[in-house]
Amino acid sequence: MTLSTLRILVLEDQPLQRYALVASLRQLGCANILEAADGVQALGLLQEHGPVDIAFCDICMAGMDGLSFLRHASERKWINAVIINSELAADLRQTIASMVELSGMQLLGELAKAAKVPALKQLLGRYNRLSLPHSHGLPDQHVFTDTEVREALEAGQFQVHCQPKFNLNTLEVDSLEALARWNHPKQGLLPPAVFLPILERLGLLDRLLYQQIEQCLGLRAQAKAYGYDFKFSINIQTFQLANEQLSTEIIRRLALFEAPGNCLCLEITETDPRALTPASLENLVRIRMAGCGLSIDDFGTGHSSLQRLCQLPFNEVKLDATFTRELKRSPRSSAAISSTLQLAAALGMSVVVEGIETLEQRDLLLSLGCKIGQGYFFAKPMAPDKLLIWLLNKTIQDDFGVIRDRLLSSQPCVRSALSS
């Protein structure tokens, strides 16, 4: 995806500010831009021209304001991502962010009225079309049948793409998160929103999970030949824990690949207590007894709570990306991160912070005491073959950097030659 291919809507009731924003977008190479002065006009443009990738939305306007516009547009699935074009109090921004995300849209951030082109470019760079469940960018808007998805599972077309988690201080890779992608033979790489709901309805999520575990353990064995020994995190839904054979199947695969339990961590994406059963709790205990990790994913949102953090045998907390995005602008987010770090330390748990997209965010998180993080600032999800190449290149670059720093600090003549 390039900026020139983005479809953008600018909703701003102040003509001069709207003109300046559109001019900046065109300077960045954006060519397909719709302009509207109020919510009603914006909805009319979307109905006439079709959905957009990103909407710049002014919240405070006469007539239909930005809040009403976003609600109507999201109901029709006309917008994939939103950039708020209003300066609001931190608590209002947080509530609007929740509203946007609950509506199924991606929130890219807030643009100050006097923002410069680099800040605008940074916000646009956060757009991830692949992660959006109803992106009009999917090939031909194809709706896959149960048979197609089932056959793809049988053919092994669902593959893990790995996104590294990093030590925030040293920038060394700590572990890898395995994310499901459909490597479709005709339509290319497809996001999980295309196939996961169908697999869930067909009762095939467990089979996908087992395939992912096997792929991760196979990749681990392959990477060990190059000197790497990584841990993998894999997402799992709470209701899958009710499968009485779950822990047995996981342990069997670990034995098959001669892998230790601590190389796997299950990230439980939803911890609704109504979905827990005695079998679920037994699986959690057996999985931990096998040495595997258990992470409560998206902590601070959804059904995650302090009660479940204390009652269930988690040993990792994965803090939702929303807190990272609001870190600089919202003191509450900073306080929430600090409190989570203190609580996790008291409970003997580690913390992973999601959604790090800038050096500034990484530095702020370090200052709060965060140790492990993940996000596009470090690396995007990669196919296994590309991951190995990336790791080898990173190792070479890191080794050269260490040698270079030593030479620069010890020998003036070498320092002069390397600097020239």
Would you state the pLDDT for residue 403?
Answer: 40
Measured CA to CA, the distance from residue 268 to residue 294 in angstroms comes to: 7
Fold of domain 139-382: TIM Barrel (3.20.20)
Measured CA to CA, the distance from residue 201 to residue 120 in angstroms comes to: 40
pLDDT in tens, the chain (420 residues): 578 788 999 998 888 888 889 989 988 888 889 999 888 999 999 988 889 999 999 888 777 888 888 888 888 889 999 998 877 776 677 777 778 878 888 888 888 766 678 888 888 888 865 444 444 444 444 678 999 999 999 999 999 999 999 999 999 999 999 999 999 998 888 988 889 989 999 999 999 999 999 999 999 999 998 888 989 999 998 889 999 999 999 999 999 999 999 999 999 875 555 667 888 889 999 999 999 999 988 786 655 567 777 778 999 999 888 889 888 777 888 998 999 999 999 989 999 999 998 899 999 999 999 999 999 999 999 999 899 889 888 766 665 454 445 444 544 443 443 343
Would you state the pLDDT for residue 115?
Answer: 67
Length of the chain: 420
Would you state the pLDDT for residue 367?
Answer: 94
Catalytic residues: 354
Measured CA to CA, the distance from residue 316 to residue 124 in angstroms comes to: 32
Q: Where are the domains of the chain?
A: 3-131, 139-382
Measured CA to CA, the distance from residue 79 to residue 39 in angstroms comes to: 13
**Which phi and psi angles does 408 have, rounded to 5°?**
-65, -35
Would you state the pLDDT for residue 134?
Answer: 41
Would you state the pLDDT for residue 297?
Answer: 85
Distance of CA 296 to the CA centre of its chain: 15
Query: CA–CA distance from 319 to each of 86, 302, 341, 357 (Å)?
Result: 27, 12, 10, 15
Class at the top of the CATH hierarchy for domain 3-131: alpha beta
Would you state the pLDDT for residue 396?
Answer: 66
